[in-house]
Amino acid sequence: MLIGVTAQSRDSEGLLRTRIWGLLEPYLRALGQAGASIVILPPQPTERLPTLLRRLGAVLLPGGVDVDPAEFGEEPLPALGEVDPVRDGLELWVARYAAEHGLPALGICRGVQVMNVALGGNLYQDLPSQGFGTLQHYQKAPPPALGHSLEQVGESPLDRVFPPRFRVNSYHHQGLKRLAPGLRAAAVAPDGLVEAVFLEGHPFYLGVQWHPELLPDHWGLFEVFLRAVEGMRGS
């Protein structure tokens, strides 16, 4: 089963100063244990993407740098972090395509934010300076330590994996603000921040704000993701 994952990037070292586009290893491990074969999707002209995406069973949007507030009509706040307009362009296009064509999609951390912006929602650019200072959304402890808890809200793909209340890791300072039309909350943090959403009427379009790829106990989410893809192929 082919799963397309949009590429992350960093600056190269040495004499040749350029960008390296690839994927962090935890995503490879989490998807691999669920039975996926992975195709990395680097930035490219969008007119080439439909032919490629039609060959894939699903797409995953991974974590990374901040989403540029220009994409949801705002000026940058002082606490805005690094942005990558090239990556924004690729992932927003892929997120819209997946929503419009029924292509299963999973968004992780930055990925859930991309999903929301792609469909018409917006973001808090910086949670601590925008009224969310009582909960540690960017925890200092590395994996596998857990941060705050989440409460599930109604039925969603999450209830196939997690109990009604469960704990997650947390490494973000942006967050979902106004949800896009059609997106529904699946889990909420104790301070009221929505940290998981799904698209109503879609076979599988789920975004989560934490990093399940870093937590083997949460890898069941990737198995549910791939079972949804298999279910579509068998129908």
Q: Which residues are catalytic?
A: 109, 211, 213
Instruction: Summarize the chain as % helix, strand, coil (round to 5).
Output: 30, 25, 45
Angle at 32 between CA 28 and CA 174, to 5 degrees: 45
Helix (H) or strand (E) holding 196: strand 194-199
224 is written with which tokens?
Answer: 């549910």
Distance CA 229, CA 87 (A): 25
Residue found by looking up tokens 């930055």 in the block: 110
Task: Using alpha carbons, select from 223, 221, 232 the residue that is nearest to residue 159.
Answer: 221
Q: Report long-range pairs for 98-103 (Cβ below 8 Å, ≥24 apart).
A: 98/53, 98/59, 98/205, 99/182, 99/199, 99/202, 99/205, 101/53, 102/202, 102/203, 102/232, 103/53, 103/56, 103/58, 103/59
Residue 158 to residue 216: CA distance in whole angstroms: 16
Tokens of 196: 């998981």
